Structure 1
Amino acid sequence: SSIYGEAAAYPTSEDTVPRPLSPYGITKLAAEHLAHAYGKEFGLHASVVRYFTIFGPRQRPDMAFTRMVTSLADGLPFELYGDGTQSRSFTYVGDAVEATIATMEGGPDGAVYNVGGGVEVTMLQAIEVLGRVAGRRLEIVRTPRAEGDVARTAADTSRIEADLGWKPRISLEDGLEAQWRWAADRVAAA
């Protein structure tokens, strides 16, 4: 989703003109162009999936949800970038894997698919869900929004649903519960 930047419309479709704001988003767009160029040059099948904020157990330690569950498990404050009203289509990792496999097995050459969790949620709402799942309140320390971080992402997944029959199955609450259990088990084992 980083290739879209501050999109012109939400939910954002694959036909939206990419306007990445960060070096990360620019590299994602460049990778898409490279995949399509290699496909044409060498006769390879190339389809693209545009992931919207993947989360779940074993997520990178620098990502927001991992930092949230770790802070909660350790009883430490969570550093929230921005005011918490920024929103995302959070996508559970298992759903992202299923969408990737569906695209690899059935996506037509040159296809581009958005892969998102189906519901747009603010960071404050996600923190509330995590607190409910964990039975604890997360202490928040607010810091300025990160440079290049967009205020909103929301995936229009109608194309992948129509073409490949994929849609997300795991709710934010169920996904955060799995991520919380994973983090809590790691803290208990330490």
Structure 2
Amino acid sequence: MKALITGIAGFVGSTLALRLLRDGYDVVGVDSLTDYYDTTLKEKNLELLDSGRRGSRLTVLRADLRDLDLRELLVDIDYVFHQAGQPGVRKSWGRDFSFYIESNIDVTQQLLEAARTAPRLKRLVYASSSSVYGDAETYPTSETLRPQPRSPYGVTKLAAEHLCVLYAANFGVPTVSLRYFTVYGPRQRPDMAFTRFLRAIKDDRPITLFGDGEQIRDFTFVDDIVDANIRAAESASLENGAVLNVCGGSSVSVNEVLGIMRDVSGRDVLIDRYEAVAGDVRRTGGDSHQIRQFLGWSPRVQLEEGIARQWAWVLESDG
């Protein structure tokens, strides 16, 4: 089997690639290595992939998807894992919004157009986000509730998700959208909370915390996210256009997370508190009933174990 991973140099993309290579897949990866964060970290992810590949089963294209012949790229692809996109709630306001439109909506639409005629394609898995829910009407939040994103980033993720549903309904493109709930784990992006927090603890620096810390998040370990992607891709019975939550079931406050980090590290946690940021929601928490029912998926890594594994990675890493 042959898989295409967009955004292969990123956090989830590189972790997914390692798993697929280990499982015997041939993998083609595309990444433009944008400078949203230090590109040397992405280069390290690619080096890790290269060192772990077997034979010639890994091909990496350093390119913008919009500059490639996507129809040609998909000719011999069985599974597409569309992880690429512009992340970040806070940066999506103002002038940067146009880049979010290009990276999260336009690229997805072009990929879906190419997928219409891909002869071997069995599944296109789109990486959506719990940001589409905004301040949800109820918790735990099910896929049937009305999305109401609170940030431009969330708007673009929802728009791309709608495109996946439309191409499935109108052209039979075998899409599935996975709504990730706060992914964490080794090689997490440096701008994301757990990496920022743990590196500050390592360096005996104060943690920068926006808001009062009582905001609640549903944290999901990256290996569980990868497992959900592969199950979604390989499922022959999943309805085209399906939308599924992928959530760790560990809805806890940020203050509780800091307590776990203190216990795991055995160090004091210093905090500098700032006002909450526009677009950040007060709470997330997903209902995982549908993904359990259709894919037999459930999270395996509990929050304490996952934070311990990310702490070990922070201690070993240079960044």
TM category, shorter: over 0.9
- Indicate conservation of the 8 Å contact 2:185/2:309, yes or no: yes
In 2, Cα distance between the equivalents of 1:79 and 1:149? Answer: 15
Q: What residue number does 1:110 align with?
A: 241
**Higher RCO, 1 vs 2 (CA within 8 Å, ≥6 residues apart):** 1
**Partner Cα distance (2:243, 2:222) in 1:** 19
Query: Structure 1 stretches of 5 or more lacking a match?
Result: none
Give 1:40 shift. 3.7
Give the counterpart letter for 1:91 in structure 2.
Answer: T
Q: Which residue matches 1:171?
A: 302
C-alpha distance in structure 2 between counterparts of 1:112 and 1:32, whole Å: 8
Task: Please provide the CA RMSD for this pair.
Answer: 1.2
Please give the TM-score of this superposition, normalised by the length of structure 1: 0.95
Amino acid at match of 2:316: D
Counterpart of 1:71, as a letter, is: A
The structure in which a higher percent of residues are strand is 2
SS at match of 2:131: coil
Partner AA of 1:116 in structure 2: C
The equivalent residue for 2:26 is: none
Output one character per residue of 1:101-128: Cα deviation in whole Å (capped at 9) or x when no partner.
Answer: 1111113212111001112110000110
The code of the aligned residue for 1:65 comes to: F
* Superposed displacement of residue 3, structure 1: 0.4
Aligned to 2:195: 66
Q: CA deviation at 1:185?
A: 1.0
- TM norm structure 2: 0.57
Shift of 1:37: 2.4
Amino acid at match of 1:44: V
1:1-190 → structure 2 map (5 Å cutoff): 1-106=130-235, 107-187=238-318
Name segments (4+ residues, structure 1) moved above 4 Å.
Answer: none
Give secondary structure in 1 for the equivalent of 2:264. Answer: helix
How many residues end up aligned between the 2 structures? Answer: 188
Give distance in 1, aligned partners of 2:245 and 2:172: 24
State the Cα deviation string for residues 35-90 of structure 1 (Å, max 9, x = none): 12233444310111101000011011000001001101111110001000000110
Q: How far does the alpha carbon of each residue in 1:163-188 deviate from its partner, in whole angstroms, 9 at most, with x for none?
A: 1110000011111011100001125x
